Each structure stands twice: as C-alpha cells, then as structure tokens.
Amino acid sequence: MPAERPADKEFLEKTASDYEKRSARVTKRVILCAGTGCVANGSLKLYDEFLRVLAEKKIHAIVELKEEKEGVFVSKSGCQGFCQMGPLVTILPENIMYTKVAVPDVAEIVEKSVAASGVVDRLLYKDPATGAHCKGTAEIPFYAKQHRFVLRDCGTIDPEDLSEYIHKRGYEAARMAYCDMTPAQVCSDMLKSGLRGRGGGGFPAGRKWELTRVQPGPKKYVICNGDEGDPGAFMDRSVMEGNPHSVIEGMLICARAVGADEGYVYVRTEYPLAVKRMRKAVADGEAAGVLGDNVFGSGQGFKLHVMEGAGAFVCGEETALMASIEGKRGMPNPKPPFPAQSGLWGKPTVINNVETLATVPLILLMGAGEYAKMGTKGSPGTKNFALTGHVANTGLIEVPFGTTLRQIVNDIAGGVTDDKGKIWPDGFKAVQIGGPSGGCLTAEHLDMPMDFDSLKSIGAMVGSGGLVVMNKNTCMVGIARYFMQFTQNESCGKCVLCREGTRQMLALLDDIMEGRATWETVELLKKLALAVQKGSLCGLGKTAPNPVLSTLRYFEDEYRAHVEQKRCPAGRCKALVSYSIDAAACKGCTLCARQCPVNAITGERGKPHSIDAAKCIKCGACISACKFKAVKA
C-alpha cells in the first residue's frame, strides 16, 4: 500500500524517536544471524527454541518492537560474516557472541546470559593462535582486524524493520539529497568522494552519474546489479539480506542525482532470501512514503522494482543484464553506446553494484571529503571480500583499500591451513582474487597494499571481491582449468573468441594436465589467451583468460613441470601421478589394501605390499590410509 503522503524530516525523526522509546523497554537483545549460511546451519530453529525456552522460564519475549511491556527482544539479523562459525548468537548489551550454537545450547544461554549476566565459555570463539576465549567481536581477531563500514549495521539490525534502519540515521542522506542538494551537487559529492564501482571494473561512480545526469530526456533508470555470480562470492547477497534499505537509499540518491524516476534491483534468483528481503524493504518503503510519486516532497517520484535474474553469470555484465530485464536473452551488446547514453529500453541508465549503492548514503552522511580519507588515494573507502579456501576463518570481511594480503590471510583469516584444516604456518601458496575473472597473487604480493590500481598492475583485479586462499598442495594449472571450465560454461556464446576460445583453452589445459602437451601447447595457450583477452566482446570474455595468464606469469615452472617432466608438483593431476609403495617403509599392515576401492593393492600381511598400476585409479585412498608414509605419489 502506498503511503498517503511522502515521508519528510518529521517522519524520520518521529520514527527514530518512537524506536528509541520502544527499545528502552528492551532489557536484553538476542540477535540470531539469519544469513544464508547460518540459516542453513539451523539458526531459524534456534530462534524458535529461544522463544520456547523464554516462555518456559516465564521471561517475556518481544518478537516485534511494538510492545509496551518490558522484555527480551529476540531478533534475526542479516549475515554477520563469520559464516564458518555459524550459527551465531549475539547477546546485547553485553556484546557476547556465541558460535556454532545448537538447539540444546539455548537453555544454557538463556539461563546464564539472558536471565543472568554470565557467559557460557564453551560457546565462545577460541582463538586458535592463543587458545583464549573471545567474548565478543572486539576480541575475536576475525572482527577486530576488519573495518566494518558498509557492513556496520549488517548483522546487527533487523533487516526487515524499516524503523530500526531509520533509527540508525537511515534515509537521512536521501532526504538531504532530495531536499537540501541539487542533482549536480550530489554528483559532484560522489566525484569528490572518489567512490569507484565495486562490481569489478572500478569505474568512478560519480563520473557514471554525471554522464547520465547530463543526458537529455525525461525518462531515466537506475539499476542495482545484484547478479552476483562468481563462485564463492557472497558480498552482495549479505548486504541485500542484511541491510536492504541501505541499497534502496543508495538507489534513491542516485535517482535524485541523475533524474531517474524508475529503478530495478536485479537479484539472481538463487538468492531467495535476498529477493524476499528486498521485496519487503521496497513494500515497507512505499508504505512509509519513502518511495513514491513525490519523494520527500521534491516533486520527483521513484518507482522501484525487484526483479529476479535467471541465473546466468553473464547477466552480471551490464548490457546483458539490461537485455535480461527487457525480457531478451541475456547477451552483452557492444559498447558504445554506454548505458549512460542508451541503456534500459534505450534510455539513459545508471547501473551500479549493490555494494557501491550501499556505500552512497554513508558518504553523504559523513561527507565526501571524510570518506575520501579512508583507503588509498586512488581507491578510497573499504571493500568487502568473501574469504574462502585454505584458511582458518572463512566468511565475509570488510577492509579499507590498502590493506595487505598478509593482514587478511594471517590476522583476519587466522592463517593458512592444510587440507585437513590444521594451521600450516608456511603453507601459503597463492590467492585467487576477483573470482574467475581475476588473477592470482603470490607470496611476493603479501605485503603489497591492495587497491584497484595495484592489483591491475600485476594482472589481477579486485573484481567482485572473491578471495580464495590456496595452500601449497594446490596445482595452479588445475586452478586455471577450474576457472576456465566455469567461464566456458557461463560464456553466453555470442562472440567467437569467448565461446570458442575458452573451449579451446580448456582443451589445451587438459592436454597439459594429462601429459599430452609440449611447450608449444603452452605457447599456443598463451597466444590464444591474449587474443581472447584483447578481442572479446564483453568483460566476461576479456577477463576469462586472466587465471591462465596470471598462473602462467607466476607459476611458469609448474607448467614446465607438467609438460617437460610430465609431473604435477602438487601431485593433483591424476594422469601424471603414479602411486607406489616404498617396500622399506611398508609394514604390511594391509590397511591400504583394505581401503583400495578397486583392489589394486596386494601383499601378504606383515610383508611389503605393491600397487598394480593398471588397476589403480589414483584416488589417493591408500596415501590417506597409510600410517607409515609408505605410499608415494
């Protein structure tokens, strides 16, 4: 239901003070992380259990902050980032964070931390480095070493409660933009802030806006690109799930700056929770009069649609995304014309990434100049990364630009681990940054301050912000192949170089990994990769060869070992590995023979065993089984 009249300053103030009054009745707050990771681990069951236990103990539970009575407020939040340790439960005001909470733990938490002010030590995060129990985010290194700016409220506020967002000064920046600033001023503030697009390219957002603003015509669009498709990336999902109003506010400000009256939030359909929360936020915004025909009484309207993408990676490319909104096959179109000139339905269009838009209100609130002081000179601000791979702590993090890889890997991620998850102090090999379109960073880059430009200069990119840490057991040729397979599957098939080029690069990598290659194969691979990089139609194609080119650049010796010695240094390429048993080390315990799924290992008990190479499928079960390190690969 649209509001009867537009929201105004008074409305925002009243909403905030009402919220303040209501929250004064909250004696304690229990926040359950309801990000996708924690939900998958059962956090919604915990929510029910908390309500049950509180009722049992006759403690009044507040589920919606509308009540007159005092009580314990139990709320859900968006992703808090520490996904590996989920489900996460936070108790306020003590700021205790419990990790890996299960249903049977709830009663104890209520008893000790809700009814009283104690702590359940066993549920606290234990720092693997020191063994110390960390009580809250201030003590957990994963959080303490981050700078959560865009994600600040993500994971504390209730994403489905507009009033809590407003209480945190939400929509104040939009009101300023509509009531106190001209469109040109908003654009110039964005330019001054130096904000660069977080979707991958790093194009200055202010310039994009200004280009769109100066286009003639009454009809313009703002699109939020939430088609996050990189394997292992979930930054945008977390923002949409955890703080959907911040995205809407960013879009409102953008609409003001460029003169748009309609917008689309394009969310990939695999993010049902993000879709649901965005839809609810839009509906709430309309009901409150924040969105509507006359935003903040400015006379300018803004209609916002939430649209589900059909799950193609390429739809994250802006021209393909717009084709998809128009109901066409998601295929990129040549630029120029740029979306700013002729975008959605041929109208001038700004298309920004979720994280970029969520940053916008914060810039207006703190001032563009202040914002520009964060991060590095060329890349101001902070960046969200999805941290995965061989590290102790995986999850969603936010750091200022200029942070080094070493700080992230060692301090936030808690160090590199081996394949079994144990800390491996000198196990670091590389980081794949920027997803399948990015490149790899090696030990030599550990102390390089990371930003858009420094990464580009070494053949990598910020990309959308995936960070996959790899230990020394990783085959870099295999990694290149993994990403190539992804881009080949996801290539839209339009331009020859991407469609056929990625297929052939994949075939050449297979040749290398399966022992059919010569050095000429590698040279052809490189030539082809360069042609695809230079000649492809869209960003997906242009960056598809990056994993190949960057692994070739930093790990040429691994490629050489594969083609010249037919050896995979990491022992990962099955075709190049042959297993044998060191007779001197073998005790004849028969364990390996019993584990072998194809009965390739024979030998009498107590005597050295042997492997029949013809039968062996190189699954590695014997290596894992052997307690005497007698099986060699």
Residues in contact with other proteins by CB under 8 A are 312, 314, 329, 331, 333-336, 488-497, 499-504, 507, 524, 527-528, 531, 534-537
* Cβ distance to other proteins smaller for residue 211 or 524: 524
* Cβ distance to other proteins smaller for residue 531 or 598: 531
* Cβ distance to other proteins smaller for residue 448 or 524: 524
* Cβ distance to other proteins smaller for residue 36 or 491: 491
* Cβ distance to other proteins smaller for residue 60 or 328: 328
Minimum CB separation from other proteins for residue 490, in Å?
6
Minimum CB separation from other proteins for residue 528, in Å?
6
CB 263 within 8 A of CB 255: yes
Bridge partners (DSSP) of residue 468 are 388, 432
**Tokens, residue 236:** 């945008």
**CA 568 and chain centroid, separation:** 31
Please report where in the chains the tokens 């909104």 appear, as a residue: 325
Kind and range of the H or E run holding 376: none
**Tokens, residue 185:** 């001023």
Minimum CB separation from other proteins for residue 330, in Å?
9
* Cβ distance to other proteins smaller for residue 313 or 554: 313
Minimum CB separation from other proteins for residue 66, in Å?
30
Minimum CB separation from other proteins for residue 439, in Å?
19
* Dihedral pair phi/psi, residue 214, rounded to 5°: -80, -5
How long a stretch of residues is the chain? Answer: 633
Minimum CB separation from other proteins for residue 453, in Å?
18
* Cβ distance to other proteins smaller for residue 323 or 412: 323
Bridge partners (DSSP) of residue 398 are 384
Minimum CB separation from other proteins for residue 481, in Å?
15
Decide: helix, strand or coil at residue 225. strand
Residue 123: other Cβ atoms inside 10 A: 20
Q: Quickly list DSSP for 272-341.
A: HHHHHHHHHHHHHHHHHTSSBSSGGGSS--BEEEEEEE-S-GGGGSHHHHHHHHTTS------SSSPTTT
Minimum CB separation from other proteins for residue 533, in Å?
10
Residue 406, judged by CB atoms within 10 A of its CB (0-12, 13-18, 19+), counts as middle
Minimum CB separation from other proteins for residue 334, in Å?
3
Bridge partners (DSSP) of residue 352 are 224
* Cβ distance to other proteins smaller for residue 212 or 502: 502
Minimum CB separation from other proteins for residue 520, in Å?
9
Q: Could you give the CA distance from residue 293 to residue 261 in angstroms, rounded to a whole number?
A: 9
Quick one: which of 436, 513, 534 has its CA closest to 200? 436
CA angle 334, 338, 342 (to 5 degrees): 105
Kind and range of the H or E run holding 186: helix 183-193
Minimum CB separation from other proteins for residue 331, in Å?
7
CB 483 within 8 A of CB 405: no
Bridge partners (DSSP) of residue 416 are 391
* Cβ distance to other proteins smaller for residue 345 or 598: 345
Taking CA atoms, 76 is separated from 39, 80, 523, in Å, by 10, 11, 54
Minimum CB separation from other proteins for residue 491, in Å?
4
Helix runs in 518-620, H state only = 519-535, 539-543, 546-554, 556-564, 591-595
Q: Could you give the CA distance from residue 194 to residue 191 in angstroms, rounded to a whole number?
A: 5
**CA 629 and chain centroid, separation:** 39
* Cβ distance to other proteins smaller for residue 39 or 484: 484
Taking CA atoms, 231 is separated from 6, 72, 387, 621, in Å, by 41, 39, 12, 28
Minimum CB separation from other proteins for residue 544, in Å?
11
Quick one: which of 74, 66, 84, 90 has its CA closest to 15? 66
Q: Could you give the CA distance from residue 11 to residue 241 in angstroms, rounded to a whole number?
A: 25
* Cβ distance to other proteins smaller for residue 501 or 539: 501
* Cβ distance to other proteins smaller for residue 188 or 504: 504
* Cβ distance to other proteins smaller for residue 373 or 527: 527
Minimum CB separation from other proteins for residue 535, in Å?
5
Minimum CB separation from other proteins for residue 313, in Å?
9
Taking CA atoms, 319 is separated from 83, 342, 352, 438, 486, in Å, by 33, 10, 12, 20, 20
**Tokens, residue 377:** 């000179």
* Cβ distance to other proteins smaller for residue 117 or 489: 489
* Cβ distance to other proteins smaller for residue 151 or 525: 525
